[in-house]
Structure 1
Amino acid sequence: MSTDQIRVFLVEDDWAWIGMVREALAADPTYQFLGHLPSRAALDEFLAAHQPDLAIVDLGLSRPGAGLDVGLERFSEAEGLPVIDQISVRCSETVVVALSGYFLSHPYLVWEVMNRGAVPIVKQEGPVGPEWGHWLRGQLHAAYYEYWRPSPAIERLRYGLEAARPAEALPLTPRQLEVARLYADGCSVAQIAACLCIDEDTVRGHIAKIHGRLQVRYSWQMTARIKHHWQEVQEATRHLDGQCPPPP
């Protein structure tokens, strides 16, 4: 990640939204708007030339010749998910934000986006102005610096999907289960180290390995996976009950 401006580009074919995003980013010198693409046609060339820090992708992006928008009944024709895949392959360090209103009508897209390591954000409708720009910049800042957490709407959709999804066994060692359980409980790295009598660098190493084994990019994704297997995790780590309470 760059240490100066956050270099952002947009994959969107709605000119109104392009203008809104451009205006929102122009109001904060933290961001540099690199431009937009209306389709995947020149995506590889753009990524190679600019190596952006952050990409905003419209999930409802229409395929060439399919019209301005795909509509609810033809979402399989949209280009948004293939765009995310293409960015992940060409620029693995680029943080991808999927900004869409389709999550509410197509809940499965939450999993499709999160499983790709991208951040799903429900597109906030409303009048364009400073408040909307502040909201967008806040979402992008959280995604880029990895402290983003799912909104209540996304959480409800995700938990509904998890309830209907069979849980697979977690591919973690006993020590990794201990670290994951304490982290998901809200414990800090220092608390986990004290509780397990190991140093903080070892805790961070375990967390990195857990990310790899669960194939997730962010800590909130790791926590979501652990919570999905919470009964299994608790049963395997009963000896930790009450030993490292989360901070108030």
Structure 2
Amino acid sequence: MTIRVLLADDQAMIRGGLRRILEDQPDIRVVAEAADGAEAVSLARRLRPDVCLVDIRMPRLDGLEVTRALAGPGVADPLRVVVVTTFDLDDYVYGALRGGAVGFVLKDAGPGLLVEAVRAADAGDALVSPSVTLRLLRRITAAGPPPSHDPGPPLSAREVEVVRAIARGCTNREIAAELFISLSTVKGHVAGVQAKLGVRNRVGIAAWAWEHSMAGGS
């Protein structure tokens, strides 16, 4: 099955490069390109692509606004948005994840990671550039434990293991192998954690884990 992708970036050269990388894959097809955020929202709502690759800094609407419009809280039928950017800033990362993005990839991460992010998003998984994940984990670890008045919802011991694995960037299959449980059991735990935390996807789980200093252990 072909993964249909929308590209949103205000630089035509960047869009062309991303298109070549993606369409070199037999299972990915770029169905539309947008040169600004407002055009991206309009095309995405009309075409309903499987994955939207969105830059941060664009005219009219920036990438965070596009993400919230297509995947944020209150969106009845959210699309899968992966933010692809040059700007490795914490505010952008958190803004994208809280806005509903299912991935955050730096443009200099290489074509392999970009393709992996598209496939992960289409499969319902998520991917954040390893350098971004490492920095966020270090920041959370340095900040110490969360305030005692905000412990978060109660999670079972197994759910905590799943949350920590998701925060490390593990896929469902990798979690199943690590914890010696079935793939369907992992999916059940992920769905249960999402319901308890009130988040839409596994990136929301990872963001919660980072904020509650749960991402570093096992």
The alpha carbon displacement at 1:167 in A equals 2.5
In structure 2, what is the equivalent of residue 36 of structure 1? 33
* CA 229–48 in structure 1, closer or farther in 2 if over 3 Å, else same: closer
1:84 aligns with 2:63: no
The alpha carbon displacement at 1:26 in A equals 2.0
In structure 1, what is the equivalent of residue 159 of structure 2? 180
Contact 2:104 2:127 in 1 (8 A): no
The alpha carbon displacement at 1:117 in A equals 2.7
Aligned ranges for residues 105-144 of structure 1 at < 5 Å?
106-118=89-101, 119-124=103-108, 132-144=110-122
1:98 aligns with 2:83: yes
Distance 2:34 2:90 in 1: 26
The alpha carbon displacement at 1:177 in A equals 2.9
SS in 1 for 2:4: strand
The residue identity in structure 2 corresponding to 1:40 is G
The alpha carbon displacement at 1:224 in A equals 5.5
1:156 aligns with 2:140: no
SS in 2 for 1:94: coil
Distance 1:217 1:13 in 2: 28
* CA 166–36 in structure 1, closer or farther in 2 if over 3 Å, else same: farther
The alpha carbon displacement at 1:12 in A equals 0.8
Distance 1:204 1:219 in 2: 11
* CA 152–47 in structure 1, closer or farther in 2 if over 3 Å, else same: closer
The residue identity in structure 1 corresponding to 2:157 is E
1:47 aligns with 2:44: yes
Q: Count matched residues.
A: 200
Q: Which has the larger radius of gyration?
A: 1
Cα deviation, 1:18-74, whole Å, max 9, x if unaligned, reads 1101112221231121111111333443233211110011102133xxxxxxxxxxx
Worse-superposed segment, 148-157 or 19-28: 148-157
* CA 171–107 in structure 1, closer or farther in 2 if over 3 Å, else same: closer
Q: Which runs of 5+ in 2 are unaligned?
A: 166-174
Q: TM-score scaled to structure 2, two decimals?
A: 0.73
The alpha carbon displacement at 1:188 in A equals 3.5
Contact 1:171 1:213 in 2 (8 A): no
Q: Which runs of 5+ in 1 are unaligned?
A: 64-77, 126-131, 195-199, 235-245
Distance 1:42 1:223 in 2: 30
What percentage of aligned pairs have identical amino acids? 20
Please, what is the CA RMSD of the aligned residues? 3.4
Distance 1:185 1:37 in 2: 36
1:24 aligns with 2:5: no
The alpha carbon displacement at 1:221 in A equals 4.5
Q: TM-score scaled to structure 1, two decimals?
A: 0.65
